Structure formats: structure tokens, C-alpha cells
A and B are shown apart, each in its own frame.
Chain A
């Protein structure tokens, strides 16, 4: 999802780095050695990673909202238990990632503040509504599927703590995609109305899922540095193509139609060619004008404010016990 932060420009002034240290740093990366928290790193590398990991963490946290919407209305106890487990995983992924970002010298509280103030972003995909139960299937299948395409190469990211967090996340994520596809499969084998619901969910989530990979390579000039630093391993278009190639046959198995009249298989290249993405819609969602941007931010702020007393009470209790232990 989750590398959209790598497409944005670093607005901080470029700091002059010691060329010798810089060369040694790059040589280490070129030799596929990991960078660990206390190692020297250029300021721009640190800033890029903080922004990227934080946006990834925020995406996991905000990503709980569209799915959480259906927990109380899941069609069976089995579906409810699995959705609950999935949403809990997303919270866990957010926490692994905040912890990884913190190793770069930023606190979780600061990062949460940036999200709530709107200065930090989360993935564009979570600004779309989940209108029917089939959307939960489509999200697991498409959104988590796209996330996996992005996250698998991140396991080899040059920054150790981020790479290690991604290993755990990828292990857990494959259950997410399978539970989504199973929901779609069940709907597609059900009544005509149920199959129509699955088709409708695919229609609404297909293009936003493709947008998750970020702007087309010809428009994303900032990825070159991220690739040189081995934060990113594949370009946006490469990952998007992999996703389309993997997903189209899965849709056919379901008996569903991808909502793209230009979609066709190229025998020569072995790839599925697809139509032009509506980049204006993508830009609007990034600017905060997607269908649910305001609602998501409002819900996050509300949850944060309403949970403040819990954090305060926990801190007060810890203080009290510490004072008692000291007095005893």
C-alpha cells in the first residue's frame, strides 16, 4: 500500500553530508548489508524512512476503519471471528511499524500527532467506503493482495528494523488475502444477488486497488533515490503489473468481470494489458477529497480523544504502584 510516501518530494533542505561517509554508506547498501538503528546514515535516508514507515503504520491503523465497519454485521460467527482477527492483525502491524520508525529517533506520540493533524498521510485506498459485505471480500482479496505485492520486496529493505517488521507482517498478511478471496468465492457460488454483490464490489475496488501502487513511473521522479537506497526494490508500474497478472485469472475463476474494457492478454509478453487509470481521481483522494477522507480523520481523532482517559489512567496507576513500591 504502502509505499505511496516514497512518491512525495522531500521538502527539507538538503544537508551537506561527508562524502567519504556517504560513499561508505552506499557501498554497504550496494553489498546488500543492512543498516541498523545506531549506524551512521545520511539525514535524507533517515527522513525518507521515517516518512515511509510512518505512512505505512498510519495506513494499517486507518485501514481498520473500513473493515471494522462490518464486524458487528458479519453474516456468521465464523466470518465475524476471522474479520475480528484480521482487524486485530492490522492494529498489530501498525504497532510493529511505529516501533520500527521509533528506532530512527522519532516518538510514536509525534507520529500519531502528525496523522491527526493531517500532515502525515495514509494509503489512498482507505478513503473508499465499504458499502456491502462483499466489500470485505474485495478488500481482503484486492487491497491485501496489492499490499502483499508491495510488502514482499520490503522484507529486503536496506533498513533492518523495517525489513524485520515486514517479515512478520507478510507472514500474517497471507491469511488476510485468503479470507477475502474465500468470501468472494462463497458469494459467487451463492444466489444471483450474492454474485451481483461480489461483482459490484470488484467494480468499485478494482481501480482504487491499482492506484495503491502510486503514480505511473513516468510521473514519479522521486523513486530513483529510494531504489538506490534499496528501500524500494521495484517501481510502481512493475508492482502494478505483477498485481494485475496475478489477479485477473483469480477474477476469472470467480466468474467475475474486471471493469476494464481495455483489458487484454498479450500473448507475446505474457502480461495482461490494462486501461488508463483515472489519475485525477487519485490526486483528488490524495488531496483529501476522496469519498471518506473527512470521515476517516474524524473517526481517528475521536478514537484518540475518547481513549485519552484510558492512557491517563494507566499512567496514573503505574505511578501509584511505583510510589507504593518505593515507600514499602
Chain B
């Protein structure tokens, strides 16, 4: 008989000030404080970060892969959202 599952946390590490926290994995821990300690032991043993976030995995709302095309595909045809779509004469210089 399995033990009661320990809550899962997603771990985000800021490598150094000036960069964003990046997702690097998950840990199990009974509460937030222990999740931080576990994340520190697991993901920052070699100077990988200066700041940690832990977020309950259950709090993350994800988009459905089945809706990927509906959500993201329409942008492919909207190339006018990119600067290279517009023609500016060379004489104008960098813009």
C-alpha cells in the first residue's frame, strides 16, 4: 500500500540578478518551507542560482495541447506584426 503522496512543487531558479526565474524541475515536500529547502539542495548545489521560487504544481493552469493550433497557429499568417514586413528605403538608414 502506497503512502499518501507528498505535494508536488514546481521550482524556478534565478541564475543571477538581472535574469528571470526559470523553471528547472519539481520537488515533493509537505509544505512550502520544506519545498524551498529541498529545491535548494536539489537544484543549487553548484552555484546555479541566487533566488528560488516554489509554486504548488496544482496551482498551475496549462493550455491544452489539443488546442495548440487554435491558440497559436493563427499568428503564423500575421507577418505584419514583425518589423521586417515593412519596406523602408535604405537611404533612411537604420530604423
Binary contact readout A74-86 vs B (1 if CB under 8 angstroms, 0 otherwise): 0000000000010
A315 to B7, CA, bound (A): 10
Whether A88 lies near B45 (C-beta < 8 A) is yes
A113 to B65, CA, bound (A): 31
Binary contact readout A293-323 vs B (1 if CB under 8 angstroms, 0 otherwise): 0000000000000001001001101100110
Report the minimum CB–CB distance from B52 to chain A (whole Å): 15
Report the minimum CB–CB distance from A108 to chain B (whole Å): 6
Whether A96 lies near B34 (C-beta < 8 A) is no
Interface residues in A131-149 (C-beta closer than 8 Å to B):
none
A113 to B3, CA, bound (A): 9
Whether B65 lies near A107 (C-beta < 8 A) is no
Whether A38 lies near B62 (C-beta < 8 A) is yes
Report the minimum CB–CB distance from B70 to chain A (whole Å): 15
Q: Binding site of A, secondary structure by majority: helix, strand, loop or mixed?
A: helix
A39 to B66, CA, bound (A): 8
Contacts of B5 in A (CB 8 A): 107-109
Whether B6 lies near A95 (C-beta < 8 A) is no
Whether A311 lies near B3 (C-beta < 8 A) is yes
Whether B3 lies near A36 (C-beta < 8 A) is no
Whether B65 lies near A36 (C-beta < 8 A) is yes
B28 at the interface (CB under 8 A from A): yes
A110 at the interface (CB under 8 A from B): yes
Interface residues in A87-139 (C-beta closer than 8 Å to B):
88-89, 92, 95-96, 99, 102, 107-110, 113
Given contacts A102-B26, A311-B6, 10 further A-B contacts (CB under 8 A): A36-B65, A88-B41, A96-B42, A99-B25, A99-B27, A107-B5, A108-B6, A168-B25, A311-B3, A314-B31
B4 at the interface (CB under 8 A from A): yes
Contacts of A40 in B (CB 8 A): 65-66
- Residue of chain B at shortest CB distance from A92: B42
Contacts of A99 in B (CB 8 A): 8, 25-27
Binary contact readout B19-33 vs A (1 if CB under 8 angstroms, 0 otherwise): 000001111111100
A108 to B57, CA, bound (A): 15
List, sorted by A's number, 26 A–B pairs whose CB atoms are closer than 8 Å: A36-B65, A39-B65, A40-B65, A92-B42, A92-B45, A95-B27, A96-B42, A99-B8, A99-B25, A99-B26, A99-B27, A102-B8, A102-B26, A108-B5, A109-B2, A109-B4, A109-B6, A113-B2, A164-B25, A165-B25, A168-B24, A311-B3, A311-B6, A315-B6, A317-B31, A322-B31
A10 to B54, CA, bound (A): 37
Of A92, A107, A314, A321, which one neighbours B2 at CB under 8 angstroms? A107
- Residue of chain B at shortest CB distance from A312: B3
Residues on A close to B: CB < 8 A? Answer: 36, 38-40, 85, 88-89, 92, 95-96, 99, 102, 107-110, 113, 164-165, 168, 172, 308, 311, 314-315, 317-318, 321-322
B90 at the interface (CB under 8 A from A): no
A113 to B4, CA, bound (A): 12
Residues on B close to A: CB < 8 A? Answer: 1-6, 8, 24-31, 34, 41-42, 45-46, 62, 64-66
A88 to B38, CA, bound (A): 12
Contacts of B65 in A (CB 8 A): 36, 38-40
Whether B2 lies near A110 (C-beta < 8 A) is yes
Report the minimum CB–CB distance from A315 to chain B (whole Å): 5
Whether A38 lies near B64 (C-beta < 8 A) is yes
Contacts of A109 in B (CB 8 A): 2-6
Residue in B5, B27, B30, B46 with the greatest tally of chain A CB atoms within 10 Å: B30
A317 to B31, CA, bound (A): 9
Of A96, A164, A317, which one neighbours B30 at CB under 8 angstroms? A317
Report the minimum CB–CB distance from A240 to chain B (whole Å): 31
Whether A315 lies near B62 (C-beta < 8 A) is no
A96 and B6 in contact, given A38-B65, A314-B30 (Cβ under 8 angstroms) = no
A95 to B2, CA, bound (A): 18
